[in-house]
Amino acid sequence: MGEHFERSQEANIPASPEEVWEAIASGPGIDSWFLGNNRVEPGPGGLVATDFPGIPPTQIEVWDPPHRLVHANEPGEDGRFIAYEFLVEGRPDSTTVVRVVTSGFIPGDDWEDEFEAMTTGGELFFATLVEAITHFRGRRATPVTAFGPVPRDAATAWARLASALDASNLQVGERVSIRLGGQTPDEGVVYLRNRDTVGVRTDDALYRFIAGFQGPMIATHHLFAPAVDGEAAQGMWETWLHDSFGEENR
């Protein structure tokens, strides 16, 4: 059993096609909106590699800057694969339309659960791409990932997160406050909320929280402030997650 899938997302972004291309086709660009640290070997037959658990490298099939990029991984023994197609079109009003088509095959009887988790994650990544280009043009982020405890259930996870962020319901547009150690609180706004994810934008960061598909609460952030110590930030966020979602707080 299993299922082939295809889904697309589209947005009009206040940037040039070249700026969008840099965001989707370079390691530092992808670092500012996807997951972990990324590396791109450009050109047909090149590679897009992400340093994050469970994400295989993909081979570039189409390299047509700044208009079209296609990369996909080799199918596994069970047929699993995923392909990404980015279509970039400049407009006369100095904006650019970017469309992302994600397709592939998910094996197994539980493919639908995995597809739902992939869908909510994809919504977060695409929304972060739009936020990064729109609000942080010309800036590059330090990606920071920290893993926390496995939440008892989704309702508990989001209630704990709302409390930790001084929020009521974490809906799009709500103002929140991020307190990390003894630092000055970072004030921001929720830019995305779906079943499994929350995204928050501040002046110098895109903070993201993922709690889906029976996994741990994950903080996967993009810090745009200069001279960020990534290892120190990861340690602080691991402490924050365990303080906010540890067993003693349930």
pLDDT at 36: 95
The range of the structural domain enclosing residue 168 comes to 142-249
pTM for this model (two decimals):
0.94
Measured on CA atoms in the order 121, 122, 123, 124, is the torsion positive or negative? Answer: positive
Q: Are residues 127 and 167 in the same domain?
A: no
DSSP 211: -
pLDDT digit string, tens, across residues 59-86: 999 999 999 999 999 998 899 999 999 9
Q: Are residues 115 and 169 in the same domain?
A: no
Lowest mean pLDDT across 107-116, 131-140, 201-210: 107-116
pLDDT at 154: 84
pLDDT at residue 247 tops 80 = no
Residue ending a domain, among 135, 152, 184, is 135
pLDDT at 250: 47
Q: Which runs of consecutive H residues, i.e. helices, occur in 136-176?
A: 154-164
Strands 186-193 and 197-201: antiparallel
Q: Are residues 131 and 63 in the same domain?
A: yes
Instruction: Give the H/E segment covering residue 244.
Output: helix 230-245
Q: Are 185 and 201 in contact (CB under 8 A)?
A: no
Nearest to 52 by CA among 76, 74, 30, 25: 30
Average pLDDT over residues 34-44: 97
Count of domains forming the chain: 2
Confidence of residue 213 (pLDDT cuts 50, 70, 90): low
Average pLDDT over residues 209-235: 91
Which residues, in sequence order, are CB contacts of 81 under 8 Å at separation 6+? Answer: 72, 73, 74, 75, 104, 105
Q: Which residues pair with 101 in a beta bridge?
A: 8, 85
Q: Are residues 172 and 98 in the same domain?
A: no
What percent of the chain is predicted at pLDDT more than 70? Answer: 97
Q: Are residues 166 and 78 in the same domain?
A: no
Q: Are residues 128 and 6 in the same domain?
A: yes
pLDDT digit string, tens, across residues 134-182: 999 999 999 999 999 988 888 888 999 999 999 999 999 999 999 987 7
**77 burial via Cβ count (<10 Å: 0-12, 13-18, 19+):** exposed
Q: Are residues 24 and 131 in the same domain?
A: yes
Q: Are 178 and 185 in contact (CB under 8 A)?
A: yes
Instruction: Indicate the residue type of 232.
Output: A
Rounded to the nearest integer, the mean pLDDT of the chain is 93
Q: Are residues 185 and 114 in the same domain?
A: no
